[in-house]
Amino acid sequence: MKKITIGIASLATTIVLLFTGQPDGLLHFYALNVGQGDALFFRTPSGETILVDGGPGNAVLQELDSVLPFFNRTINYVFLTHTDRDHIEGLIYVLQRYKVEHVYITGYYKAGSLVRAFMRAAEEHNVPITLADAQSDIVLSDGTMIDILFPFKRAVENALSVNNASLVAKVMYGTQNILLTGDSEIPEEETLLKHGDNLSAEVLKVAHHGSNTSTTPDFLAKVHPKYAVISVGRNNTYHHPHPSTLTKLKEAGVKVLRTDLNGRVEIIFDKEKIVDIKEGA
């Protein structure tokens, strides 16, 4: 496993977490290794769990088994950024396997078999579904906040594509922020820039797997991340990430972490800084 050490991690705390499942007072962010798709997982300082998208197929189940204690079968919050297969399919398996307490979706989707299966799984397992918007932020007891920046109602109603109705959110803990962008493309980025929200974040989950349809220089300048995470499959047929996107990130001085090259990415935060980065599972 490749490891980038930012600070001194406590071995004793890690052992306790692995074998007892007790929270360690840190925010853990994972880009799960699910191939060509997105599946992003958070374990908060108090031990609550958040899953954003589920990737294609059922690879997310094995990944969750690797990052959760074997006896923990609960996911507190699930967010579906949009309904493309490489984001929604794995969540169907998650709803069937795990006790999911809350599901948030944008409400903009094109009906299809995967959407129907997702809705059916939520109904069968009595999981409430909430239509997320920029007013439905979530504040957890340990101070972690999920700040939903998009959708705005009118913007979603006028969306030209499912990608450009992607849920965008910032996960915030202390002074540390992770910006999650789904598959949003240039039109959605421009909408966010015009709206004037604070987009700054230490970590950017690069939109649309590093496609050249996203991550404009203006958007990057506004976010001003230190690290960019690209969730993407090895040797994928879309040729993601696009060289132009990688060039823009390099020119902006952003360190890139990729699941296709190094497997699962984990970034660990305290309230003031990134304390550890791990790649390689």
Q: What is the pLDDT of residue 279?
A: 93
| Residue 251: pLDDT over 90 | yes
Q: What is the pLDDT of residue 156?
A: 57
Cα Rg, the chain, nearest whole Å: 17
Q: Give 88-121 pLDDT, tens digit per residue.
A: 999 999 999 999 999 999 888 777 999 999 999 9
Q: Give 167-222 pLDDT, tens digit per residue.
A: 999 999 999 999 999 999 999 999 999 999 999 999 999 999 999 999 999 999 99
Prior bond to 241 cis, omega within 30?
Answer: yes
Q: What is the pLDDT of residue 152?
A: 84
> Which band of pLDDT confidence, cut at 50, 70 and 90, is reported for residue 135?
confident
Which tokens in the block code for residue 271? 């309230």
Query: What's the domain count of the chain?
Result: 1
> Which band of pLDDT confidence, cut at 50, 70 and 90, is reported for residue 133?
confident
- What's the mean pLDDT in 6-27? 61
CA distance 136 to 131: 9
Which tokens in the block code for residue 23? 């929270």
DSSP letter for each residue of 57-86: TTHHHHHHHHHS-TT--EEEEEE-----HH
DSSP 226: S
- Which structural domain, as residue segments, surrounds residue 117? 2-279
Residue 96 to residues 49, 61, 126: CA-CA distances in angstroms?
Answer: 17, 11, 11
CA distance 11 to 78: 30
CA distance 91 to 117: 10
Residues 6+ away with beta carbon under 8 Å from 253: none
> Which band of pLDDT confidence, cut at 50, 70 and 90, is reported for residue 127?
very high
Residue bearing tokens 């390099």: 250
| Residue 5: pLDDT over 70 | no
Q: Is 102 helix (H, G, I), strand (E, B) or coil?
A: strand
- Name which of 7-11, 195-199, 247-251 the model is least confident about: 7-11
> Which band of pLDDT confidence, cut at 50, 70 and 90, is reported for residue 161?
confident
CATH number of the domain to which 24 belongs: 3.60.15.10
Residue 133 to residues 7, 126, 137: CA-CA distances in angstroms?
Answer: 36, 22, 8
Q: Give 52-93 pLDDT, tens digit per residue.
A: 999 999 999 999 999 998 888 999 999 999 999 999 999 999
Q: What is the pLDDT of residue 280?
A: 86
Give CA 77 to chain center in angstroms: 12
| Residue 20: pLDDT over 50 | no
| Residue 10: pLDDT over 90 | no
Q: Give 23-42 pLDDT, tens digit per residue.
A: 899 999 999 999 999 999 99
Helix axes 59-67, 85-97, angle to 10 degrees: 60
| Residue 136: pLDDT over 90 | no
Residue type, 240: H
Helix axes 113-124, 85-97, angle to 10 degrees: 20
Q: What is the pLDDT of residue 124?
A: 98
